């Protein structure tokens, strides 16, 4: 018998951003009591969780003391104090994904080394502890530079084309990777519970904004052959089995010109590439995360319809109190559902929400998604 529902059980979540907000929709569905820790009183989760605690996710004492208040602890962002989590786990707290998994994933150098050790196909890389160390290396351009920690949504990632580009890099622990000429960027979300039950969502395809290096559209199912899709899902399963993680794991992949599949990087949580699932899947990624960390049976990952997610980001040239323009126009379109994250301030390329488009026909859904993208504007007053 599960004691999670309508009881004294408390689920703790480190991070109160939009992923947490969408997770709370599912915990409310199950009447699970939630405690959120976030740095900002204006965090999207602040008004809708059962208990909100303000504090620094990277501070040992703050994370440790928060962990003592809950029965199970999970994350919605991986940049958290690992030492506090290891101590809490040692004292018997159930933490998913496990601190040992987070420790590898939150550092891109350790993550890439792990792929190599586990024979998981990935692009060649080198690690450097400082920019000066990198500059001493004999380099062949172009290559991809990534900050080892705290990069997200296009920050902390740069394509370095020449010697001059090195001057724009941050002096930090970093990795460089070979630039892979790829046909598609794909992603697979894998769910795994404590019993070892494991399921993958369909392979999705990601279309990027060239300037912001951010996902503009996520398309499910990916427009690839069944053979490539099967290869992608098998590699994602191998990654999940290697980590033995509990919870959700988003595996980002490259489909090369020769249809090989390489792992780019992973995120140990719900992910932008799974937002389409709220409207398109039988069990959305947020409900699946709750099921997996509480060791409940996993739900069906199949899609009811084709789904496309359009990211809503702050328009260039606008900073300040947010205004969503032309919302009525997109609400007139069939199969269109907006999700607004509740961030009060917009700035260029800041993630402010997303829109899901569902249809039986993927081509039609993609046309509507384009229309949505060209209609709605995220600007300031």
* Complete DSSP assignment for 47-68: TTSSEEEE--TT-HHHHHHHHT
Tell me the per-residue pLDDT of 311-322, one tens digit each, with 9 for 90 and over. 999 999 999 999
CA distance 278 to 356: 8
Give 151's DSSP letter: -
The upper half-sphere exposure of residue 169, i.e. CA atoms within 13 Å in the direction of its Cβ, equals 29
Q: What pTM, to 2 d.p., does this model score?
A: 0.94
CA distance 109 to 129: 10
3-class secondary structure, 15: coil
3-class secondary structure, 322: strand
Instruction: Report residue 152 as tokens.
Output: 């997200």
Q: Starting from the edge strand earliest in sequence, which strands make up the sheet with 157-160, in order?
A: 125-128, 174-178, 143-147, 157-160
CA distance 105 to 98: 11
Expressed in percent and rounded to 5, the helix, strand and coil fractions of the chain are 30, 30, 40
Sorted by where each starts, the structural domains of the chain and their CATH numbers stand as 10-95 (3.40.50.20), 124-178 (3.30.1490.20), 182-380 (3.30.470.20)
CA distance 55 to 59: 8
Whole-angstrom CA distances from 123 to 174, 262, 285 are 15, 7, 28
Q: Per residue of the chain (381 residues), give pLDDT as tens.
A: 568 988 999 999 999 999 999 999 999 999 999 999 999 999 999 999 999 999 999 999 999 999 999 999 999 999 999 999 999 999 999 999 999 999 999 999 999 999 999 999 999 999 999 988 998 888 889 999 999 987 765 678 888 999 899 988 989 999 999 999 899 999 999 999 999 999 999 999 999 877 766 788 999 999 999 999 999 999 999 999 999 999 999 999 999 999 999 999 999 999 999 999 999 999 999 999 999 999 999 999 999 999 999 999 999 999 999 999 999 999 999 999 999 999 999 999 999 999 999 999 999 999 999 999 999 999 999
CA distance 197 to 245: 11
Give 294's DSSP letter: T
Q: Give the residue among 103, 142, 137 at the shortest CA–CA distance from 123.
A: 142
Instruction: Report residue 66 as tokens.
Output: 């928060």
CA distance 57 to 82: 10
For Cα atoms 13, 18, 23, give the angle at the middle one, nearest 5 degrees. Answer: 50
Asked if 248 contacts 199 with a C-beta cutoff of 8 angstroms, the reply is: no
Tell me the per-residue pLDDT of 321-366, one tens digit each, with 9 for 90 and over. 999 999 999 999 999 999 999 999 999 999 999 999 999 999 999 9
CA distance 160 to 249: 29
CA distance 43 to 45: 5
CA distance 229 to 207: 17
Q: Give the residue among 97, 111, 43, 70 at the shortest CA–CA distance from 289.
A: 97
3-class secondary structure, 219: strand
Burial readout 1-35 (b: 16 or more C-beta within 10 A, e: otherwise): eeebeeeeebbbbbbbbbbbbbbbebbeebebbbb
Asked if 139 contacts 164 with a C-beta cutoff of 8 angstroms, the reply is: no
Whole-angstrom CA distances from 219 to 63, 180, 269, 305, 375 are 36, 21, 19, 11, 19
Block residue for tokens 């303000």? 54
């Amino acid at each position: 018998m599960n004691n999670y529902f309508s009881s004294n059980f408390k689920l703790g979540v480190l991070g109160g951003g939009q992923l947490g907000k969408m997770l709370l929709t599912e915990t409310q569905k199950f009447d699970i009591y939630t405690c959120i820790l976030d740095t900002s009183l204006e965090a999207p989760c602040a008004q809708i969780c059962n208990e909100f605690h303000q504090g620094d996710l990277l501070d040992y004492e703050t994370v440790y003391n928060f962990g003592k208040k809950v029965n199970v602890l999970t994350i919605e962002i991986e940049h958290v104090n690992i030492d506090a989590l290891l101590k809490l786990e040692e004292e018997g707290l159930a933490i998913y994904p496990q601190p040992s998994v987070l420790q590898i994933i939150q550092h891109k150098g350790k993550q890439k080394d792990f792929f190599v050790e586990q024979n998981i196909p990935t692009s060649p890389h080198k690690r450097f502890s400082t920019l000066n160390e990198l500059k001493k290396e004999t380099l062949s351009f172009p290559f991809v530079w990534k900050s080892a920690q705290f990069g997200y949504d296009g920050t902390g990632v740069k394509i370095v084309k020449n010697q001059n580009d090195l001057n724009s890099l941050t002096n930090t622990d970093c990795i460089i990777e070979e630039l892979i000429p790829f046909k598609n960027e794909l992603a697979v979300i894998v769910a795994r519970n404590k019993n070892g039950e494991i399921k993958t969502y369909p392979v999705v395809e990601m279309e990027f904004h060239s300037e912001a290096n951010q996902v503009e559209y996520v398309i499910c199912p990916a427009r690839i052959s069944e053979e490539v899709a099967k290869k992608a899902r098998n590699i994602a399963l191998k990654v999940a089995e290697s980590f033995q993680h509990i919870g959700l794991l988003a595996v980002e992949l490259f489909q090369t010109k020769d249809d090989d599949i390489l792992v780019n990087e992973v995120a140990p949580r719900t992910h932008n590439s799974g937002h389409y699932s709220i409207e398109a899947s039988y069990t959305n990624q947020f409900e699946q995360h709750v099921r997996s960390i509480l060791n409940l049976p996993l739900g069906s990952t199949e899609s009811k319809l084709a789904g496309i997610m359009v990211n809503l980001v702050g328009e260039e040239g606008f900073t300040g109190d947010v205004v969503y323009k032309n919302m009525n126009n997109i609400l007139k379109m069939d199969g269109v559902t907006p999700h607004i994250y509740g961030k009060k301030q917009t700035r260029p390329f800041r993630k402010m929400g997303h829109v899901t488009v569902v249809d039986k026909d993927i081509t039609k859904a993609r046309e509507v998604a384009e229309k949505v993208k060209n209609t709605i504007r995220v600007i300031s007053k």
